[in-house]
Amino acid sequence: MTPRGEESVGTGRLDTALADTVRRTGASAGGVYLLDEPAQALHLAVMCGVPAEVALPWSRMAVAAPFPVTDAVREDRLVWVASQDDMARAYPRAAAGLPYRFALAAAPLPGRARCWGALLLLWPASHPEAATRREQGHITAAARRIAHTLDQAPVPAAAPTRPRLIPVTADRAADPSHHAAADYVERLPEGAVALDLEGRITFLDSTAAALLGREADRLRGTRPWQSLPWLDAPLAEDHYRTAVISRDPVAFTTLRPPDTYLRFELHPDASGISVRITRATPPDGPGPAPPGPAPAGGYAPAPTAPGTTPPAPSTPAPAGTATPAPPGAVPAGAGAPGAAQVGRLYQLLHLAAALTETVAVRDVVDLVAQQILPAFDADGLVLSAADAGRLRITGHHGYDPQVIDRLDGLPLDTDLTPAGDVLATGVPSFFADPAEMARGYPRAPKISGKQAWAFLPLVISGRPVGCCILSYDHPRPFTADERAVLTSLAGLIAQALDRARLYDAVHDLAHGLQQALLPRSLPTVAGLRIAARYLPASHGMNVGGDFYDVIRIDPTTVAAVIGDVQGHNVAAAALMGQVRTAIHATAGAAPDQVLARTNRVLADLETDLLVSCLYMHIDLARGRAVLAGAGHPPPLLHQPGRPPGPLPLDPAPLLGVDVDLSFAVTDLLLTPGTTLALYTDGLIEVPGADPDRITADLARYLAAHASQDPGLVVDGLIRHAWRSGRYTDDIAMLLLRAEPQTS
């Protein structure tokens, strides 16, 4: 299937641009991700230099996910990962699925009017860890050229359905000397095999066929670990993947049953892998001699005879790569039928690492939809849980809402779908086509129109708690490998879903308590425009002790308060309510007295939590405000005709530090147009950024937009500080603007 993104940029344009970039930068592999803005996801459109199955787990990624290409797009910068150690530290989820040595760069594709996506480049393990300034310039220039190619496309690029694999180099032209080269190889006393980057055998000589024990015609076009049962083990494929990704020479020794040890030396480049095969020394005796002339057809193995140890590889493998097995090494094994391929194993590791990062049920559903569905080429998802004897759907993707309404709430013993039976037995069910499904559940295929299904029980401690359904828009057989991986994956999904449901229950309780304690509405006061926002952290418990309030004292006097209780839990939310009550009880007194009395209330509560607070007494009739703070960030101040910035306040400790604290006050003249932005520290504590610089930047933004509606200004300040929208802490904001009073 041709990706839609390929068609939209014209045949070959994006392919040529990527291949040229890989050659010019000296990279070993590369790919172009296109940004799907509505879905906020990156789709791999075209790639070269690595097998397609290696990139499968990363063919679609949410922009918010932690990966180099997503960071490049989100932060609009070049991301350089120098080594596997750097990858493990910065991107542990990606490192779990790619445990190889290589260097990596990701750069955004800056178009004329939008970011098109990201360029991804990989270098061999031999690349220096530091990228020079000149090299970084080449990478960013290449990204701009690809973005220009996308800008010039007659039809805008769209998210592809699947990535297109292209060669890095052009096909080598036919040369008469190739026959002489083949004759030369045939005369050597060792086997020669050529693999393409997908791992398929493109050439082997008769000696190699003899050593491998199979006719050459039956091996060409196959992958060795699939066509040779004794190589059907993760070890062989993992060595191949190490060579093709790290571009390191790799050597290993394995047993060809019953008693022949073979040594494989893999030498990779941009076009494929050359493999040298020789006899190896057995663990318990002298090694067999190199084979003699191969028999006709190259099928029968050469006889074993005492001889010498085969020579060492011509190019030593760098540190950290696979090395030849010494005498006594464990053989690769006979490889049981149906053994999972190493790519599936690493894919499972990648998905397992991703599932550990999910928090809420919505996170689990999104992860399964964004990464697990593409990994298994599925089109639809339904997650359901057993609740009071019924199947309650907790999440879905790729289904019409009317179908979901019909399936939601079915009894567990329903014959409309296999989900109930799967829950009752704990045994997965696979249906390759509608006819197979209709034999047991005649009405099921007619409901959704899907053509193949995998029903996976979600089991926790031996107890089925739900069912995960993957569905397909086309008939599809399920191999033993896929069934094994999907069944294992269901266990990981069950654990993640169970944690997420518990989290959601606690969160709903705590968040409901917090919302009940925040003011439902703010008073309308002549001469004062007011706007407020509370935003929970986008990650973690999503509930904390941030609060704000505006308290009317009389028609021309109000009190404004903002604060932050330490912690993100139910205790913090409950204490926040008690602090607000204490402030309400003393509002109208001098600001320093309000804070002092609130501090004594905290001492009486004997809590271990501390509270930052800023209290402001506003007298609109006199155009004057008096402020006092307790360890809280000073408000941003803008007055027409004056430079904006934080309002200087005398520092004071947090509430709860000492029962006998005193608090200094600050006077402020409220001229018409004076705007104050009160906020909690979650607004300015952006990871990797200087809070002072962010504060100064926000003050300039406030001055530039102070005349706008206060609600729009508050929203703009939050977006300006947190461009990604993923807040790491709660944010409370209160914006106050003095207006001319009408008589």
Each residue of 598-615: pLDDT tens digit? 999 988 888 888 999 999
Res 3: pLDDT:
40
Q: What pLDDT, in 10s, does the model give residues 153-171?
A: 766 555 566 788 888 765 5
- Out of 38-52, 298-312, 490-504, least confident range: 298-312
The share of the chain scoring above pLDDT 90, in percent, equals 27
What's the token pair of residue 253? 């020794």
Average pLDDT of the chain to the nearest whole number: 80
Average pLDDT, integer, range 7-36: 81
Indicate the pLDDT class of residue 13, thresholds 50, 70 and 90.
confident
Res 236: pLDDT:
77
Q: Is the pLDDT of residue 281 over 90?
A: no
Indicate the pLDDT class of residue 514, thresholds 50, 70 and 90.
low
Average pLDDT, integer, range 511-520: 74
Residues whose CB falls within 8 Å of the CB of residue 73, separated by 6 or more in sequence, listed in order: 33, 35, 42, 63, 108, 115, 117, 118
| Higher per-residue pLDDT: 307 or 694 | 694
Q: Is the pLDDT of residue 286 over 70?
A: no
Res 469: pLDDT:
92
Query: Residue 242's closest CA among 313, 317, 322, 340?
Result: 322
List the domain boundaries for the chain. 4-166, 181-298, 358-509, 518-738
- Other C-beta atoms closer than 10 Å to the C-beta of 678 total 24
Residue by residue, DSSP assigns 363-391 as: HHHHHIIIIIHHHTT--EEEEEEEETTEE
The alpha carbon of residue 322 and the mean position of all alpha carbons in its chain are separated, in whole angstroms, by: 29
Indicate the pLDDT class of residue 741, thresholds 50, 70 and 90.
low
Average pLDDT, integer, range 20-25: 87
Q: Half-sphere exposure of residue 301, counting CA atoms within 13 Å on the CB side?
A: 20
Question: Is-same-fold flag (4-166; 358-509)?
Answer: yes
Q: What pLDDT, in 10s, does the model give residues 427-469?
A: 899 999 999 998 888 888 788 889 999 999 988 877 778 899 9
Res 362: pLDDT:
84
The pTM of the full predicted model, rounded to 2 decimals, is 0.51
Indicate the pLDDT class of residue 652, thresholds 50, 70 and 90.
confident
CATH topology of domain 181-298: Beta-Lactamase (3.30.450)
Res 542: pLDDT:
52
Q: Is the pLDDT of residue 554 over 50?
A: yes
Homologous superfamily (CATH) of 4-166 is: GAF domain (3.30.450.40)
Q: Which run of H or of E encompasses 191?
A: strand 191-195
What's the token pair of residue 721? 């500080």
CATH topology of domain 518-738: Phosphatase 2c; domain 1 (3.60.40)
Q: Is the pLDDT of residue 297 over 60?
A: no
Q: Is the pLDDT of residue 510 over 80?
A: no
The share of the chain scoring above pLDDT 70, in percent, equals 84
What is the C-alpha radius of gyration for the chain, rounded to an integer number of angstroms?
33
Res 445: pLDDT:
79
* From the candidate CATH numbers 2.10.70.10, 3.40.50.2300, 3.30.450.40, 3.40.50.1820, the one assigned to the domain spanning 358-509: 3.30.450.40
The alpha carbon of residue 223 and the mean position of all alpha carbons in its chain are separated, in whole angstroms, by: 31
DSSP code of residue 245: H
Res 308: pLDDT:
33
Q: Which residue has the tokens 């708690």?
A: 465
Q: Is the pLDDT of residue 191 over 60?
A: yes
Indicate the pLDDT class of residue 321, thresholds 50, 70 and 90.
very low
d(CA 712, CA 705): 9
- Out of 47-56, 210-219, 643-652, least confident range: 47-56
Average pLDDT, integer, range 410-416: 84
Indicate the pLDDT class of residue 560, thresholds 50, 70 and 90.
very high
Query: Are 733 and 532 within 8 A, CB to CB?
Result: yes
Res 466: pLDDT:
85
Q: Which run of H or of E encompasses 603?
A: helix 591-605
Q: What pLDDT, in 10s, does the model give residues 366-383?
A: 888 877 787 778 889 998
Average pLDDT, integer, range 710-719: 92
Query: Are 265 and 211 within 8 A, CB to CB?
Result: no
